[in-house]
Amino acid sequence: MTDLLLVKWLLAFSPIAVVLILMIGFHWGGGRAGAAGWFTALIVAVLFFGADATLLAFAQMKGVLLSLYVLYIIWMALVLYNVVDETGAIEVIGSGIKQLTADKPFQLLILGWVFASFLQGVAGFGVPIAVVGPLLLGMGFPPLVAVAVPAIGHSWSVTYGDMASSFQAMIAVTGLSGEYLAHWASVFLGITVFMCGLAVVHVYGGFKAIRRSLVAIVIIGSVMAATQYALATNGLWTLAGFVAGMVGIVASILVSRLPMYRNTNGGTEEAPSTDGPKMSLTFALSAYIILIAIVAPAEIIGPLHKFLGSVKLSLMFPEITTSQGWVNAAGLGKKISVFGHAGALLLYTSVLSYFVYASRGYYKEGALGRIWAKTVKSGVSTSIGIVSMVCFALMMSQSGMTNLLAEGISTVFGEAYPLVAGAIGTLGAFMTGSNTNSNVVFAQLQMNTAEIAALSVPVILAAQTTGGSIGSMLAPAKILVGCSTVGLSGKEGPVLARTLTYGLIMTAIIGVLAFLNAAG
């Protein structure tokens, strides 16, 4: 690269660098850092990449369409989680699971690996750590283990969790089909399932605990990885994380019957609940059974899928070119299916679930108001982060900055590029606190780089999103949430150090797998 190109490459990288420095060095949240990245991208795009006001205007609109596509899922997932949580059902599910066995490493696997992944499947945004951390602490695990275990344990399910919002974001940003991307993403994430299980017990008891739990990890991990693969590669990626977690819970119950893990407490389905009526574990799970009953037919039955997808919103964009000759072709922006989108399916589930729980009197007075308040409280901060980051990512791609970054990386790394593809995804999640944001910021860059270097695009993007998934165990934002729930506020460093070791090993393994499979 010539000096001038190097300077321009550094300028193109500057918005990402600003976000990294502010989030890691100054502990800013995603919303604040994303806004700073937006300003940096705007200035660099105008001064050094020839973007004019019209290009910037279209980039904002494309960014908002993309954001709305992802936010529709995120907000409705939050509504569903709060509809369930308000009844005390999440507590009932957690208590029911922890009574299955007295074996400590197996308890960690069930709660920190399987249940946390199930929670990621239905909610995400730090909920697995926030819910499981206090449960583990209450069972007598040290605070550091109580936070680190769910942080590590749930990370494999982040890409397909929360109605696959991270995977959907990758589809939206790259413009590639989910069917094309699902195979390799599911293979890499499937391998990550086992790595997370091994790491969870290693955190607690080292290799001795791994030897004791190996049978459980192999059986439950195989069931979860196979379920995730089967659903994702058959077009049901929105259900892949959540159903894999649910099937993992069933597998855990069966494995707990094995003599080596058998319960000495005497498991029961009933669990202590709040002041209201007692709830069975089966009834507590009813919202998620309804979710499957709604999503599966909506995705599988062709005429129904077509009918629900009949109303789509989008906008047409004309061709626009920067003064330096970078051309953005004319075309439609991201299409949003109003009634068939994953967010709409979550909304139907939330409404039905509310009436099911209400029919048994599980809601106290003012429940709807509390559900709404909790949803807004969690949703606005996340949404500001997503909108600002998506808009700056769009400014970068529309002004040719992303392409220049890809060309530079491809030139420097050449055929060894797949080795760092996973690390880029991990870095993105670490800096933004989210696999979704990592995919939004880096997926297009990874795709362009793979194309330039004649490497397999789905393999590189699988490494990107798997790295992003793993990176969520390192995200300071999530560690902060976990530490605050177990009384470790201000002591996040040791937890991060612990998760960092496992995260880096897993990322390196994914890099090697990508390297072995990416030759175009």
Residues 6+ apart with CB under 8 A from 26: none
- Are 219 and 255 a contacting pair, CB within 8 Å? yes
Shortest distance in whole angstroms from residue 55 CB to other proteins: 9
- For other proteins, which is the closer residue by CB, 59 or 93? 59
Mapped onto helix, strand or coil, the DSSP state of residue 139 is coil
Q: What is the four-CA torsion angle of 371, 372, 373, 378, rounded to 10 degrees?
A: 90
Long-range interactions of 174-179: CB distance < 8 A, separation 24+: 174/443, 174/444, 174/447, 174/461, 176/447, 176/457, 176/458, 176/461, 178/235, 178/237, 179/233, 179/235
Shortest distance in whole angstroms from residue 317 CB to other proteins: 8
- Are 74 and 162 a contacting pair, CB within 8 Å? yes
- Are 506 and 467 a contacting pair, CB within 8 Å? no
Shortest distance in whole angstroms from residue 520 CB to other proteins: 37
By CB under 8 A, residue 309 contacts other proteins = no
- Are 298 and 342 a contacting pair, CB within 8 Å? no
- For other proteins, which is the closer residue by CB, 32 or 104? 32
User: Which parts of 62-81 interact with other proteins (CB under 8 A)?
Assistant: 63-64, 67-68
By CB under 8 A, residue 58 contacts other proteins = yes
- Are 76 and 336 a contacting pair, CB within 8 Å? no
- How many residues line the site for other proteins (CB under 8 A)? 31
Cα separation, 406 vs 453, whole angstroms = 9
Q: Which of 17, 29, 144, 491 binds other proteins (CB under 8 A)?
A: 29
- For other proteins, which is the closer residue by CB, 64 or 419? 64
Cα separation, 172 vs 28, whole angstroms = 27
SS in 3 state form for 335-362? CEECCCCHHHHHHHHHHHHHHHHHHCCC
CA distances from 249 to 149, 214, 245, 246, 270 (A): 17, 17, 6, 5, 16
Shortest distance in whole angstroms from residue 401 CB to other proteins: 18
By CB under 8 A, residue 57 contacts other proteins = yes
Q: Which of 26, 39, 180, 207 binds other proteins (CB under 8 A)?
A: 39
- For other proteins, which is the closer residue by CB, 338 or 508? 338
By CB under 8 A, residue 313 contacts other proteins = no
Q: Which of 35, 199, 232, 457 binds other proteins (CB under 8 A)?
A: 35
Beta-carbon count within 10 A of 422 CB: 32
Q: Which of 17, 21, 61, 504 binds other proteins (CB under 8 A)?
A: 61
- For other proteins, which is the closer residue by CB, 29 or 205? 29
Stretch 357-396: interaction string toward other proteins, x if CB under 8 A? -------------------x---xx-xxx-xx--x-----
- For other proteins, which is the closer residue by CB, 104 or 370? 370
Shortest distance in whole angstroms from residue 20 CB to other proteins: 16
Shortest distance in whole angstroms from residue 35 CB to other proteins: 4
- For other proteins, which is the closer residue by CB, 313 or 358? 313
Stretch that binds other proteins, among 56-64, 111-119, 419-427, 499-507 (CB under 8 A): 56-64
DSSP code for 123: T
Tokens linked to 212: 């004791």
Q: Which of 16, 18, 19, 36 binds other proteins (CB under 8 A)?
A: 36
Q: What is the four-CA torsion angle of 439, 444, 450, 451, rounded to 10 degrees?
A: 150
- For other proteins, which is the closer residue by CB, 142 or 318? 318
What's at 61, amino acid-wise? Answer: M
- For other proteins, which is the closer residue by CB, 67 or 469? 67
- For other proteins, which is the closer residue by CB, 18 or 136? 18
- For other proteins, which is the closer residue by CB, 287 or 396? 396
DSSP codes of every residue in 316-327: EE--EE-TT--E
455 DSSP β-pair partners: 519
By CB under 8 A, residue 50 contacts other proteins = no
Q: Which of 13, 38, 242, 502 binds other proteins (CB under 8 A)?
A: 38
Shortest distance in whole angstroms from residue 484 CB to other proteins: 19
By CB under 8 A, residue 284 contacts other proteins = no
Mapped onto helix, strand or coil, the DSSP state of residue 280 is strand
Shortest distance in whole angstroms from residue 333 CB to other proteins: 9
Q: Which residues bind other proteins (CB under 8 A)?
A: 29, 31-32, 34-36, 38-39, 42, 53-54, 56-58, 60-61, 63-64, 67-68, 315, 318, 376, 380-381, 383-385, 387-388, 391
